[in-house]
Amino acid sequence: MSRWKVFCNVDLSLNKDALKELEKVANVIYFPATQETLLDNIIDFDAYYASAFVEMNKEVLDNAKKLKVIATPGTGTDHIDIVEARKNGIDVLDIAEERELLKGFTATAELAWALLLSCIRKLPAAFDCAKQGYWARERFTGYQLNGKTLGLLGLGRLGTMMAGYGNGFGMKVLGCDLEEKNIAGVEQIALDELLAKSDVTSIHIHLTEENRGFVSNELLKKMKPGVVIINTSRGAIIDEDALIKNLESGYVGAAGLDVIHGEWDKNIYDHPLIKYARTHDNLVITPHIAGATVESIIGARVFLAKKLADYIREKNPGY
């Protein structure tokens, strides 16, 4: 068997030794993370170490004639057309079920909490004014979290971390999950009751075909008026047009988003949520940085490189 070729467009500048194990079993070639580069070059490769900033769509997969496996160092796979990949006999590796590894990654929950604080204390707008020497103290009157109710959609790893933060800030914490959970300081209740009671609703569910657009206009109207919505999961979980309308009307008091649908679009400057945020103070957006800490980036990328190396050893035993 010949030595496999791995197409890598993941930035490994934080740990140049991340691919050490992988390089023992394959020829790894690094490319910049652009759609055109992936489309033009993937035809020659057996494996793809995937950047989340580039879409592995049908067009690319149709051009990936030799591809056997895609490895992505994250828990989400919405940048990969999984159905099409499987149709083509291509395996997909990620870290979504690597529970021991993920236990040590607190970055996403911490960023979700930062978004919440940014929303209720209007920090981005206040900072913009302070930089201009405009000391408008009472213009930025916010709310304290103590005594408020935090509603968590999803009580997995990140929802559980958020529950701990909520308890620490003196909040009443409600949770909703498909499974019965026993988490200290969390009252698990039905979805409609949680929505009606929560001052803050934070989303911690995985994107599936079934819950695409789950946070619809109908669901938003079940929420408490003035609710703050936090989403560090995936943009497509929310009906973004409905969110904008409810932010404009004030029914949704504020939203903090680390993810939006269409993050790979070249004209993201004109994305409706980005446009709205430029002229309104009640929407805070960060560019999908929740997992972007040194610890989580290095940990995930090194782990996934080893996982891909093990996969290649199994499928290509001569190397």
Catalytic annotation, residues? 234, 263, 288
How many Å apart are CA 218 and CA 54, to the nearest integer? 32
Q: Are 219 and 243 in contact (CB under 8 A)?
A: no
State how far the Cα of 221 lies from the Cα of 203, in Å rounded to an integer.
Answer: 16
Residue type, 267: N
Answer for the pair 240, 215: CB distance below 8 angstroms, yes or no.
no
What are the C-alpha distances in Å from 163 to residues 8, 45, 84, 119, 296?
Answer: 37, 44, 37, 18, 21
In the block, residue with structure tokens 């004014």: 129
The encoded tokens of residue 192 equal 């409609």
Residue 221 in contact with residue 252, Cβ under 8 Å?
no
Q: Quick one: 246 exposed, middle or buried, by C-beta within 10 A (0-12, 13-18, 19+)?
A: buried
Give the single-character DSSP code of 224.
P
Q: Where are the beta strands (DSSP E) in the chain?
A: 4-8, 26-30, 47-49, 69-71, 91-93, 149-153, 172-176, 186-188, 200-203, 227-231, 252-257, 283-285
Rounded CA separation 299/242 (Å): 37
The CA angle 158-163-169, to the nearest 5 degrees, is: 130
